[in-house]
Amino acid sequence: MGALNSLPDEPQYVGLAEKTGFSFEQIGILHKRFKQLSNNGETLRREDFNTIPDLLCNPIRSEIIEAFFDRRNFRQTDAVGTVHEIGFGEFLLVMSHFRPPSIRLDDEQKEVIRMEKLRFLFNMHDTDNDGTITLEEYRHVVEELLSRSGALGKETAKGIADAAMLEVASISMGHMEPDEFYEGITFEHFNKLLKEFEVESRMNIRFMNMDTTTLCK
């Protein structure tokens, strides 16, 4: 394949391959894409994502873009906060959350992968990084999800978010005094809620089928 011959930064790729689990070939393809988006620059900024026309129609566009600049997704322990620009390494690290788990993994390793993917989803909701998805945060997501597509009004989406939150609170807290306050959905509870969701098999992109010829301009 032509892509293999045009890999300029092979030593760097070794490190990235180890960190992310991507093959050299996949890394090469994604690097090409990175250069396209960054206009051959070394770093990507949020504005660069606006050059992708299809992304503009996406209701949760801003959450997705933010995920690329969220240090919690850079696989560095306890890193928090956001950055203004990212290099290829970070780009690849964020992408790696969508790699399908290898079939050869045992249950424990699969569980690790599942937690990583779930954590990524959680981070997308918990924007202020206080460890909980608050009502306000959840409302925001639901609003974007449901009312941006035009099907529902803002108030309705808000109502649905409230109802969902109420559901979660009822299930996790059972009984609450009128003056008690439910802080929000913790990661632990988020995990429990989505236990049967099979995130490890659903939250994947088939990078293997990627081909340089199909990359859109």
Partner 1 sequence: MVLIRGLSPQFLDHLLTGIEDICGHYGHHHWKDKLNRFNKKYIKKCLIAGERSREPQLIAFYHKMEMKQAIELVESGGGIKLPPVVPSTVSMQNIQPKKPPPPVERALPQIPKGREDEIRKILRGNLQKTRQRLRSYNRHTLVADPFEDGWSDLLLKKSKMIELEKKITEMNNYLTVPAAPPDSPTITRARLSSDPQAYQRKQLSDSVPTIQVDLASPQSPDSLSLLDELQRADQRRELRRRPPPDEEEGGGLMMRPPQARGGDQGEEGGPSAKEQRLQRCLSDPGPSAEDDEDEPFLS
* List of residues contacting partner 1 (CB under 8 A): 30, 33, 36-37, 49, 52, 54-55, 57-61, 64, 95, 98, 121, 124, 134-136, 141-142, 145-146, 150-153, 155-156, 158-160, 162-171, 173-178, 180-182, 193-194, 197, 199, 202-207, 209-210, 214-216
Q: H helices within the chain, ranges in order?
A: 2-5, 10-20, 24-38, 53-56, 61-68, 88-95, 107-125, 135-147, 154-173, 187-193, 199-202
Give the CB-side neighbour count of residue 145, counting CA atoms within 13 A. 14
Three-state secondary structure call for residue 13: helix
Q: Which is nearer to partner 1, 7 or 164 (CB)?
A: 164
Q: Which is nearer to partner 1, 61 or 110 (CB)?
A: 61
Q: Which is nearer to partner 1, 106 or 181 (CB)?
A: 181
Q: Are 193 and 185 in contact (CB under 8 A)?
A: yes
What is the closest distance, in whole angstroms, from the C-beta atom of residue 70 to partner 1 in the complex? 14
CB atoms within 10 A of CB 102: 10
Please identify which residue in the block is written with the tokens 């949760």.
Answer: 60
- Note the residue count of the chain: 217
Please identify which residue in the block is written with the tokens 């620009």.
Answer: 85
What is the closest distance, in whole angstroms, from the C-beta atom of residue 167 to partner 1 in the complex? 6
Structure-token pair, residue 93: 């690290």
What is the closest distance, in whole angstroms, from the C-beta atom of residue 8 to partner 1 in the complex? 19
Say which residues have a Cβ less than 8 Å from residue 127's Cβ, sequence separation at least 6: 63, 66, 137, 140
Q: Which is nearer to partner 1, 104 or 217 (CB)?
A: 217
What is the closest distance, in whole angstroms, from the C-beta atom of residue 189 to partner 1 in the complex? 10
Q: Which residues pair with 139 in a beta bridge?
A: none
Q: Are 54 and 38 in contact (CB under 8 A)?
A: no
Q: Which is nearer to partner 1, 49 or 88 (CB)?
A: 49
What is the closest distance, in whole angstroms, from the C-beta atom of residue 28 to partner 1 in the complex? 13
Q: Which is nearer to partner 1, 43 or 156 (CB)?
A: 156
What is the closest distance, in whole angstroms, from the C-beta atom of residue 106 to partner 1 in the complex? 25
